Amino acid sequence: MAESLAQTRGYNGFSYADISHVLGITKASLHYHFPTKEALGQALMERYAEEFRLALARIAETASSALEMVERYVALYRDVLVVGRLCLCGMFAAEVTTLPPGIQDRVRAFFDMNEQWLSDAFARGRHEGTLRIEQDAAEGARLFMGALEGAMLVARSYGQPQRFDADSRRLVALFLGAASRS
């Protein structure tokens, strides 16, 4: 599928021919659905962001603590890493200078959404008394998201998801923890 190829090889690393082989249809048929590669890239980003948005909403509704929210957030990333992919937006962010502007905008919008959600999670942690870090929740959210993207990037280049696990555990522990045992 196109999404998988984009997350594995990047926007400049896959072609209409690659997708058509996997799907068993011709390039011309693909162009019927997505006239240009820009349109294809936009559709990919749109769907990816929408599914991620839904997943985050589900977590926010059902999680019983800020810690659980963040741990399940990390698991979303881990799930794509273990199958050899990167976050689609992390991948596109690396290639951003070569992307059509319409796709660049969507990359930033995805990051914005993630930062907002994490910011809410950390604010909840503060309310619960489990936030370990004194700082502004929004600023912490940026650091956290960037650190996760980087941890994925490096871990995948080694083919070792465990590297991501170690990093993400430490990272979560830095931000949130059990309430003080008083």
Residues that bind DNA (CB under 7 A): 14-18, 24-29, 31-33, 35-38
What contacts 45, CB < 8 A, 6 or more positions away? 88, 89, 92, 103, 106, 107, 110
What contacts 64, CB < 8 A, 6 or more positions away? none
Two structure tokens written together for 149: 């993207």
What contacts 142, CB < 8 A, 6 or more positions away? 115
Look-up of token digits 């019927």: 32
What contacts 80, CB < 8 A, 6 or more positions away? 7, 86, 87, 152
Q: How far is Cα 102 from Cα 84, in angstroms, rounded to an integer?
A: 27
- Least distance from a copy of itself to the Cβ atom of residue 36, Å: 18
Distance of CA 50 to the CA centre of its chain: 12
Q: Which helix or strand (DSSP H or E) is residue 33 part of? A: helix 27-33
Query: Which of 24-32, 65-73, 116-124, 147-155 is the region at the interface with a copy of itself (rule: CB under 8 A)?
Result: 147-155
Site residues for a copy of itself, 5-44, by CB under 8 A, read 8-10, 12-13
Binds a copy of itself by CB under 8 A, chosen from 94, 113, 120, 165? 94
Q: Of DNA, a copy of itself, none, which one sits near residue 53, judging by CB under 5 to 8 A according to partner kind?
A: none
- Least distance from a copy of itself to the Cβ atom of residue 29, Å: 25
Binds a copy of itself by CB under 8 A, chosen from 21, 47, 108, 127? 108
Query: Which of 37-45, 48-56, 63-71, 136-144 is the region at the interface with a copy of itself (rule: CB under 8 A)?
Result: 136-144
Size of the site for a copy of itself (CB under 8 A): 46
Which residue's CB is nearer to a copy of itself, number 2 or number 152?
A: 152
Residue ranges binding a copy of itself (CB under 8 A): 8-10, 12-13, 84, 86, 90-98, 104, 107-108, 111, 133, 135, 139-140, 142-143, 145-158, 163, 166-167, 170-171, 174
